[in-house]
């Protein structure tokens, strides 16, 4: 029974990722949809970052060290476009401030 549910979940998981890609494969996008598309990535990635930082029920906002780490990450990413530099500098700021505060 549980295996059946897992298989259905797999179908659902794939379905949610595939639905628009397959359904709109040969459709022309109306101008409004194309403009909305531009904002999907920034909106969903920003929401995802926030979801990763705060747990439901805690009611808190991100800590100062976390905010500083994120600002560093954004800045270094814009300057260098290098994931390793982003990782090292932002984690450094986060850990460093964590020790100080």
Partner 1 sequence: MNNPPMTLSDYRRRGVLDALVLTLPAIPFALVFGLTVRESGLAAWLGWSTAPIMFSGAAQITLITLIGEGASLAAAATAALVVGARHLFYSFSMAPVMQQQPSWFRWCGPYMLIDQVFALCVDKRHLPAAEFRHYYLAAGATFWSFWMVFTALGLFVGPVIPQGLDISFATPVLFMGLLATAIDGWRKVVVAAVAMAVTLALLDLPSRSGLLLAVVVGIAVGLILEWRRPS
Instruction: List the one residue out of 65, 72, 67 whose CA is nearest residue 87.
Output: 72
Closest to partner 1 by CB, 45 vs 64, is 45
Give least dist CB 97 to partner 1, A. 11
Residues near partner 1, by CB under 8 A: 1-3, 5-10, 12-14, 16-26, 29, 32, 34-54, 56-57, 59, 61, 66, 69-70, 73-78, 81, 83-84, 86-87, 90-91, 94-95, 98
Closest to partner 1 by CB, 59 vs 101, is 59
| Host H or E run for residue 64 | helix 64-80
**DSSP classification of residue 43:** H
Give least dist CB 32 to partner 1, A. 8
Spell out a b/e string for 73-85, using b for 16 or more CB atoms within 10 Å of the CB, else e: beebeeeeeeeee
Sequence-separated (6 or more) residues with CB below 8 Å from residue 50: 62
Give least dist CB 64 to partner 1, A. 13
Give least dist CB 76 to partner 1, A. 7
């Amino acid at each position: 029974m549980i295996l059946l549910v897992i298989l259905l979940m797999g179908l659902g998981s794939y379905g949610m990722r595939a639905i628009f890609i397959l359904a709109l494969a040969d459709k022309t996008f109306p101008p409004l949809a194309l403009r909305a598309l531009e904002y999907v990535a920034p909106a969903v990635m920003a929401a995802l970052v926030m979801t990763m930082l705060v747990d439901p029920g805690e009611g808190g906002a991100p800590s100062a060290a976390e905010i500083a780490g994120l600002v560093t990450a954004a800045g270094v990413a814009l300057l260098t476009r290098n994931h390793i530099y982003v990782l090292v500098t932002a984690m450094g700021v986060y850990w460093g401030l964590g020790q100080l505060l």
